[in-house]
Chain A
């Protein structure tokens, strides 16, 4: 088997709260191959968000090692991690995190701003990605002028704009109604079929069921890791 896209070994994270050390993640080892669609589940406090932050290079692990695309990232400095996030990762958040009073196009182009791409190319890339998520007509709209589902599509376009190897989605449907949620999941499934690796954090079984593999967390440990016969979201919409 080729080198996995994600490989973690005994990954651990502790938080210090006053004099107490609270373990959030206690030695997780797993691999995720390129092209997988993985759902990470678990109740709050199970460590799934901590795991996600570590995968997203947003936080440093307290122990263990993490290889992303063959590169060990657990030892990198803050600025190096920023570079990794910029080149290899895309993020989709529960609350979209779009810049207010900024056009959809500029929102999508934001990551390219930090990779030093010239303005003309930034615009072109952003246009392509917005078209890909079905918002070609909404290029100049500000977030406030878009529905929740449309905002999340803009956020997904932003996550895709730097051609990432991995898209991390943290409760992407948490702020959406059920029909819009299914639409967003259909979009993610479609992107996955086009070859993008997706790791999704959710506490809803319905949402997790759209993924091809479900990893369950409890008390900072993986308690279950099984393949899943994914529902096709596009079918549900018909």
Chain B
């Protein structure tokens, strides 16, 4: 008996009981669709985290100034200027695994352009900063060495600031006043979007660190070399922990700290936090998929139930087939093919529904979903396996019937 004939017999038997077949398939349809949607939602969350890691720039370590204690009250990180620009250069120069180290000064204030104004954050940076943050300039140019050395009155502008000050007009070569200091815009930064904490990373101005120190931040900073933080990028593939450790040692040495004395700086390893988040979202995806799989399992039990009913109902048919020469394995194959067909058709409909559902969720709830080919293959494979697993018992029961008893069955 060939497979095409078996398949035809199975399809005929399923068509004869349309309603029952449809209801049986429903279990599989819901199961498969649920698995696909859950994996898509989980995958979307994961992709978001990965994107955040990328937008922050990967392999980033941030060194911050230590805290200051005054009258028993401890200030937060950065309240005491303990790290300097030169610490930054030393880190970049002396530690091999570090690709770039960018000392930064941070300030905020009102920015005025013509009759528009906007309050934003500005950073005094070295060109390394753009490398560390993997940030590109979409319009204009970066800082030149002369501007770095001579506190040039130039500034790079983030997309949000540009939009708020100039609307759709090009901000290039315009002059803006930052804390009353006129600076010329020489470049526009690429869009970076929100940070993982929800901050708008494009609401920013970048200027040479010397400019920030000498012209904008004012007298308190003018003579010092201290910086608020140093952003450090570790080389791709290098050991983050090791680089972190060597950097701490270098800073302790430079700050002449004795053994036993606390660090006078803080080191934050952001990608570690993000990686932990990524791992947790992976676990979440797995959990969601596991819950969805339960419904697939229930669908499979539905198939078994219907196939058992079907075998009982068609006992005489089975008897007749045996009388005219069907062997036990012919009967087994027939009912197994029926069960698998049922679950595969259900699987295909479930995949379509799952893909549609994932898109709908993305559209309506605004969640990001990530459809993966592997999850679809997985769901389809699982549906087939459910058909075989839960179809086997009823099929075997059918094939074990004795011809005379099956023929006599009322």
| Residues in chain A within 8 A of chain B (CB atoms) | 53, 56, 58-59, 78-79, 82-83, 85-87, 91, 93, 97, 99-102, 110-111, 113-116, 119, 158, 162
Chain B residues with CB under 8 A of A102: 12
Q: In the bound complex, do residue A113 and residue B404 qualify as a contact, i.e. CB atoms below 8 Å apart? A: no
Q: Which residues of A contact B320 (CB under 8 A)?
A: 93, 97, 99, 110
Known interface pairs A53-B404, A97-B316, A97-B407. Does A83 touch B321 (Cβ–Cβ under 8 Å)?
A: no
Whether the pair B12, A116 counts as a contact (CB closer than 8 A) is: no
Determine the distance from Cα of A91 to Cα of B326 in the docked complex, in whole angstroms. 14
**B324 in complex: contacting residue of A59, A79, A114, CB < 8 Å:** A114
Q: Are A86 and B324 in contact (CB under 8 A)?
A: yes
Q: Nearest chain B CB to A96's CB is how many angstroms away?
A: 10
A116 to B325, CA, bound (A): 11
Inter-chain CA distance A79–B326, complex, in Å, is 8
Given contacts A78-B328, A82-B326, A82-B327, contact A114 B1 (CB under 8 A): yes
Residues of B351-410 at the interface with A, using a CB-CB cut-off of 8 Å, are 402-404, 407
Q: Does B290 contact A (CB under 8 A)?
A: no
Cβ–Cβ < 8 Å partners of A99 in chain B? 317, 320
Q: Chain A residues near B404 (CB, 8 Å)?
A: 53, 58-59
Asked if B5 is at the interface (CB within 8 A of a chain A CB), the reply is: yes
CB distance from A9 to the nearest CB of B (A): 22
Query: Would you call A79 and B328 a contact (CB within 8 A)?
Result: yes
Chain B residues with Cβ below 8 Å from A116 are 1-2
Cβ-defined partner of A110 (8 Å) among B4, B321, B327: B321
Smallest CB gap from B400: residue in A: A78
Q: Chain B contacts of A111 at CB under 8 A?
A: 324-325
Tell which of B4, B320, B322 has the most Cβ of chain A within 10 Å: B320
Find chain B residues with CB under 8 A from A93 CB.
Answer: 320, 407
Please, which residues of chain B bring their CB within 8 A of the CB of A78? 327-328
Rounded to whole angstroms, the CA-CA distance of A97 and B404 in the bound complex is: 13
Assuming the A-B contacts A97-B407, A102-B12, A119-B5, are A58 and B323 also in contact, with contact meaning beta carbons closer than 8 angstroms in the complex?
yes
| Contact B322 A113, beta carbon cutoff 8 Å | no
- Residue B16 at the chain A interface, CB threshold 8 Å: yes
Chain B's nearest CB lies how many Å from the CB of A87? 7
State whether B2 touches A110 (Cβ < 8 A): no
Given contacts A59-B404, A99-B317, A113-B1, contact A91 B324 (CB under 8 A): yes
* Interface membership of B128, Cβ < 8 A: no
Q: How far is the CA of A114 from the CA of B319 in the complex (A)?
A: 14
CB distance from B40 to the nearest CB of A (A): 41
A126 to chain B, nearest CB (A): 13
Give the chain A neighbours of B263 by CB distance below 8 A.
none
Decide if A58 touches B324 in the complex (CB within 8 Å): no
* B12–A82 CB distance below 8 A: no
Closest B-chain residue to A84, C-beta based? B325
Cβ of A82: which chain B residues have Cβ within 8 Å of it? Answer: 322, 325-328
Contacts of B326 in A (CB 8 A): 82, 114
With an 8 A cutoff between CB atoms, is B330 at the interface?
Answer: yes
A85 to B324, Cβ gap below 8 A? yes
Q: How far is the CA of A83 from the CA of B1 in the complex (A)?
A: 12
Are A110 and B324 also in contact (CB < 8 A) when A58-B407, A116-B1 are?
yes
Instruction: Given A53-B404, A58-B403, check contact A114 B323 (CB 8 Å).
Output: no
Q: Report the nearest A residue to B406, measured CB to CB.
A: A58
A102 to B8, CA, bound (A): 12
A83/B324 contact (C-beta < 8 A), A53-B404, A113-B1 known:
no
Expressed in whole angstroms, the minimum distance between the Cβ of B285 and any Cβ of chain A is: 46
Minimum distance in angstroms from A208 CB to a CB of chain B: 22
In the assembled complex, the Cα of A43 lies from the Cα of B324 at a distance in Å of: 27
Q: A83-B325, A111-B324, A113-B1 are in contact. List 18 more A-B contacts (CB 8 A).
A: A56-B323, A59-B404, A79-B328, A82-B326, A82-B327, A82-B328, A85-B322, A85-B324, A85-B325, A86-B325, A87-B325, A93-B320, A97-B320, A99-B320, A101-B16, A114-B327, A114-B330, A158-B324
